[in-house]
Amino acid sequence: MNQSTYFWKEYINLYCVEKGQTGLTISNIIGSVRLNTSLKEYSIEDFFAEIVKEKYEILISSCNDIDELVLGKFKNWNGLKTYYQNIGSIYFSKNDFQIEIKELNDLSLELKKRYNNRIESGTYSKIGGTNEWVHLTEEDKQNHLLVNEKLTFK
C-alpha cells in the first residue's frame, strides 16, 4: 500500500469512524493527501483507482450541514446497501448526481467538474452554515496531526 492510501484510509477512519462524522468532501481528501504526502499532484482519478484496488467500501452522500457531497463510511442512519447504486465498493444515491453514473469514469468526471476548482485553488474545506471555502479548518489541521502521528512516512 502506498503513502496516499495509508493517509486517506486513516483520515477517513479518524473522521468518520472514530469521530462519527458523515464524511469528507473529495476536495478535502485530495487536498489533505497533497499536503501530507509527497504526492503533490494527487488527483480524484488517483483516489478512485486506489479505492477500487483496495476494495475499500465508501459511501458518497449529501451532507446538509455544508450542502455538499461527502465521502464516508456507512452509519446506522444510512439506508441498506441495496438502496444505493454502486460501482464496486463505492456506493451512492443517483439522486445526488445530475447525470447518470454508469461507471467509475462518470463518477470521477462529475466530482472533478464539481470540485476540481476547489482542489486547484487550495480551498479544501467548506465551513458549515457560511458557504465559505477555506484552505483548512482548525479541525482539519488537528486531524492531519493525529493521522500523521499514526503513520511513519511523515
Eight-class DSSP state of 16: I
pLDDT interval class at 31 (50, 70, 90): very high
User: What does pLDDT average to over the chain?
Assistant: 94
What is the model's pLDDT at position 119? Answer: 97
What average pLDDT does range 130-138 have in this prediction? 94
Q: Using 50, 70 and 90 to split pLDDT, how confident is the model at 150?
A: confident
Burial of 101 by CB count in 10 Å (0-12 exposed, 13-18 middle, 19+ buried)? buried
All structural domains of the chain with their residue ranges: 3-147
pLDDT score, position 154: 45
* The three cell numbers locating residue 80: 441498506
- Using a pLDDT cut of 70, give the percent of the chain over it: 98
- Which whole-number Å values give the CA distances from 150 to 3, 80, 89, 141, in the listed order? 12, 32, 25, 15
